[in-house]
Structure 1
Amino acid sequence: MTITEVDLTHLRRAVDLAREALDDGDEPYGSVLVDPAGTVRFEDRNRVKDGDETRHPELEIARWSVHHLTPEERAASTVYTSGEHCPMCAAAHAWVGLGRIVYASSSAQTAGWRAEWGVPAGPVAALPIATVAPGLPVEGPVPELADEVRELQRRRYGA
């Protein structure tokens, strides 16, 4: 795994967006889309608190990219996210042809934390991105951000 300082900068922004989501009463997830030139093209955070459980930032990035980037730009872009894509978001990422994914914490880490805190598993299996979309270039988790993401998740569950 080759995580650069540029990658860490964008991952930190994704974690900041996750914190914003949590502070607004939402689930702590955030994501950033960066084009091949290094320009942030789109960013978002979870917006599921009103009942639409599909309002994940990774899915919003996939939708936005179809309308604003060429297929070649999508393939050359990177999505940075505070937590590994769920199966829905991994599939959307693959279907629209986005490129590399870099995540701060894995689905397995989140599942382990939930189990540690006595929180039941969610309604969708916590599958790795590579299982859902095996052709995608994926890097993560990133140990430098694990404690910060764990704390956001702990606050989410009141553990």
Structure 2
Amino acid sequence: MDENDPRYLRRAVELAAEALAVGDEPFGSVLVTADGEVLFEDHDRVSDGDGTRHPELAIARWASAHLPPEERAAATVYTSGEHCPMYAAAHGWAGLGRIVYASSSAQLTEWLRAWGVPPGPVRSLPINDIVPDVPVEGPVPEPAEAVRALQARAHGRV
């Protein structure tokens, strides 16, 4: 982790809060160049019933359409939650670089289990089980607690 990572992680968590405020699941992500320029940011948009409308997939699609391969590989994706297998695969196919996440899939799985929430349709796996060569950092304790609070609100546990 470098000194700029916490700022971008905070923004990803802010985007997750924005998603929750408009009735979506609390996930947010930010795409940042090697020079620290924010290129793209988004939050979950699954309230329309399309469970694939997560920000990680939007970032992979945007980057594939707008960045040459070398810029994609040098970029970092900051996200409130660790990519699920579908989004990790999209990240890999797009040729994106490093991923930094606030909370892990294992944490989310445990929180949901403790709250009695049934598991989702996709098994949680670590990102590097899907894309082994992508540098990954996370979870990060302070923003992970903020994500836990958002997830608790999303599932009526607050």
- TM-score scaled by structure 1? 0.97
Q: Deviations over 1:111-152 (max 9, x none)?
A: 000011011110100111011111111000001212111000
SS in 1 for 2:132: coil
CA drift at 1:31: 0.1
SS in 2 for 1:25: coil
Instruction: Give the whole-Å Cα distance in 2 for the aligned partners of 1:103 and 1:5.
Output: 15
**2:100 matched to 1:115?**
no
CA drift at 1:101: 0.1
Moved more, 142-151 or 76-85: 142-151
AA matched with 1:113? W
CA drift at 1:109: 0.1
Q: Deviations over 1:25-44 (max 9, x none)?
A: 00000000001111000000
- State, as a whole percentage, how many aligned pairs show the same letter: 67
Equivalence for 1:104: 102
Instruction: Identify unmatched segments of 5+ residues in structure 2.
Output: none
SS in 2 for 1:38: coil
SS in 2 for 1:52: coil
AA matched with 2:72? R
**RMSD of Structure 2 on Structure 1 (CA):** 0.6
Instruction: Give the whole-Å Cα distance in 2 for the aligned partners of 1:78 and 1:149.
Output: 20
Q: 2:129 aligns with which of 123, 128, 131?
A: 131
Instruction: Give the whole-Å Cα distance in 2 for the aligned partners of 1:4 and 1:18.
Output: 22
Equivalence for 2:88: 90
Equivalence for 2:40: 42
Equivalence for 1:9: 7
Q: 2:152 aligns with which of 151, 154, 157?
A: 154
SS in 2 for 1:5: coil
Equivalence for 1:142: 140
- TM-score scaled by structure 2? 0.98
Equivalence for 1:27: 25
Instruction: Give the whole-Å Cα distance in 1 for the aligned partners of 2:34 and 2:134.
Output: 16
